[in-house]
Amino acid sequence: MQGDGNLVQYPADDIAVATAYFATGTDGSGENVTLNFDADGHLYLLNATGSNIIRNLTDGGYPTEDTIYLMRLDADGIFRIYSHHLKQKGIWSTVWSSTNDACAPKGLCGLNGFCVLNDQKAGCACLPGFEMVQQGNWTAGCERNFTVESCKSKNGDIKYNMQEVANTIWGDASYSALTVPFKDSCAQACLADCNCEAVLFKDRTCQKQMLPLRYGRRQLTDSAIALVKVSTSTPTPSTPNGNILKENKKELRVNILIICASFVAFGCMMLVISGIVFYKNHSRYRKLSCDGTIELSDDFAPRSFTYSELEKVTDGFREEIGRGSFGAVFKGTMPIGQKVVAVKKTTEKIICCRKSVDWNLSEEEAVLEEWAYHCFEAGELAKLLGNEEVDKKQLERMIKLGLWCIQDEPSLRPSMKKVLLMLEGTVDIPIPPSLDSFLSAI
């Protein structure tokens, strides 16, 4: 809320008028204007005295019986109101949003990235010759995937061409504007200028840009074209002793990392195979153990007995015949064949793990992944453990990694290589975004 009474949405750290992507248009309404939200979904602006409604953002009047409303500024930069019927678990519906254009929020795809609409959903892409700075976090933007030659260098071994990104608009930060007849003329002007890293061409105007490019989005109805300078060759260093050594060290580190990752992947694969084999054999044995007619035989391993069965066989663990390091040994007699056996009585421990979905719990805790995210977001991870004591930092790392790995959008999930680096602590684990399952549901 601005001091002039205008409610405006800007990108983070940039409150220039030109960067606003939503405004109520109530500037000039005076100071101390307030945003108000009623139980029936009525959203409106009140003047300083609270006596006059300056503007209704929603008309309200929505059903209130067994229904609640939530007003929230979402992670995608859009201001929304949701409704939730208390008898329909987990279902939220959007009743109002500040914009229906998912690409309207500026800065959604970070520096050197641009927003693309796909079925009314926002997606992000990097400029040609760029890649994501931080996997899974588009707000971090994109960076070049090659080294740019300095203007001071007289080497001249790096060759460039201009790659086109059509129908895109960007925030204007040009340092030079030319009038040229054709797109190719604009591209050549940038190639001839060492400081030029991209140009925006529209209506015979060629705007030279230096990186980063901001607030990009695809606009199919706009004829604007972005042309980005991209390397087509690898430079030959003029000082081999220094640069070659650095490149060799970098290459060596990459090779070592690849080899280590291969060994880890192979180990994980063998572990999975071993687990499958063990599970199949264990399942076979479980089937045998469930048959009460099978006791001991030469063809099968001993079956499992319940505690009550062993108590009956040993007559209540009455006759002790010895004692080992893990408990006492009692004499027992099998009911079939009257075989005399020895039974060791050990301490009984039961470990209980909860299901991923348990509707016997409260609505907040029913879905494990949502409960884990809410506990993480609130800094209350101890609620997930009960009385168990673990390393809190390690628990937080594992929870963050787990939340990344269960994202509904495959492109957001970290690669196996990235997961291994995160587990080793080589790569920091970023804060995971809100669960896609929740966003898609509402």
CATH of the domain at 325: 3.30.200.20
Q: Report if residue 108 sits inside a domain.
A: no
pLDDT confidence of residue 246: 56
Q: Could you tell me if residue 102 is inside a domain?
A: no
Residue ranges of the chain with pLDDT lower than 70? 153-157, 233-249, 281-307, 323-328, 336-355, 387-388, 435-442
* Strand ordering across the sheet containing 79-85: 67-73, 79-85, 93-97
Same domain, 280 and 344: no
Q: Can you give the pLDDT at residue 207? A: 92
pLDDT of 242 reads 45
128 and 74 together in one domain: no
Q: In whole numbers, what is the pLDDT of the chain averaged over residues?
A: 80
Question: Is 345 labelled a binding residue?
Answer: yes
Asked if residue 337 is part of any domain, the answer here is yes
290 and 310 part of one domain: no
**268 and 185 in one domain?**
no
Question: Range of 17's domain?
Answer: 8-97
Of 214, 231, 248, the residue at which a domain comes to its end is 231
Q: Are residues 336 and 314 in the same domain?
A: yes
Whether residue 396 is contained in a domain is answered as: yes
Same domain, 134 and 225: yes
Residue 282 has what pLDDT?
Answer: 62
Model pLDDT, residue 347: 38
Residues 117 and 227 in one domain: yes
Q: Are residues 139 and 55 in the same domain?
A: no
pLDDT of residue 442: 42
How far is Cα 57 from Cα 47, in angstroms, rounded to an integer?
14
Q: Is residue 250 part of a domain?
A: no
Q: What is the pLDDT of residue 352?
A: 33
Residue 269 shares a structural domain with residue 324: no
pLDDT at 254: 84
Residue 248: inside a domain: no
pLDDT at 349: 33
Does a structural domain hold residue 255? no
Residues 89 and 144 in one domain: no
User: Does residue 138 lie in a domain region?
Assistant: yes
Question: Domain total for the chain?
Answer: 5
Same domain, 370 and 408: yes
Cis amide leading into 237 (omega within 30):
no
Do 275 and 342 lie in one domain? The reply is: no
